[in-house]
Chain A
Amino acid sequence: MLASFDTHIFWEALTSRPYWHGALLALELTLVSLAAACVIGFFLALGRSSRFRSVRGFVFFYSWIFRATPTLLQLLFIWNGLPQIWSTFASDWFKPFLAAFIALSLNEAAYMSEIIRAGLLSVDPGQELAARALGMTRPRILRRVIVPQAIRIVIPPTGNEFITLLKLTSLAYVISLHELLTASEVRGAADFHYAEAYSAAVIYYLVIVSVLMVIQAQLERRFTWSSAGRRRRVPVVSVAHDAR
Chain B
Amino acid sequence: MNDVVLRAEGVHKSYDGLDVLRGVSIDVGRGEVKVIIGPSGSGKSTLLRCLALLEPVDSGSVYLESERLSDLREKQLAAHRSEVGMVFQRFNLFQNMTALGNVMCGLVEVRGLKRREARERAREFLARVGLADKADNYPEELSGGQQQRVAIARALVMRPKAMLFDEPTSALDVELVREVLDVMEGLARDGMTMIVVSHELRFAHHVASSILMMDEGQVIEEAPPDRFFSAPSHERTKRFLALVE
Residues of A within 8 A of B (CB): 124, 126-127, 129-137, 140, 144-145, 148-149, 225-228
Contacts and interface: CB of A to CB of B under 8 A. Distances in A.
A133 B52 contact: yes
A134 B154 contact: yes
B203 interface: no
B78 A137 contact: yes
Interface string B171-190: 00000000000000000000
Contact of B138 (A126, A135, A140, A227): A227
A226 B79 CA distance: 31
Given A126-B88, A130-B154, A149-B96, 8 more contacts: A126-B90, A131-B94, A131-B105, A133-B52, A133-B86, A133-B155, A134-B81, A225-B97
Contact of B141 (A135, A136, A148, A226): A226
Contact of A130 (B78, B92, B138): B92
Contacts of A140: 109
Contacts of A228: 141
Given A140-B109, A225-B140, A135 B92 contact: no
Contact of A135 (B81, B93, B96, B137): B81
Query: Helix, strand, loop or mixed for chain A's interface?
Result: helix
B142 to A, nearest CB: 10
A18 B182 CA distance: 72
Interface residues of B, number: 33
Contacts of A136: 78, 105-106, 109-110
Contacts of B86: 130, 133
Contact of A226 (B105, B138, B151): B138
B193 interface: no
Given A133-B52, A136-B109, A145 B94 contact: yes
A113 B84 CA distance: 36
B212 interface: no
B82 interface: yes
Contacts of B155: 133-134
A133 to B, nearest CB: 4
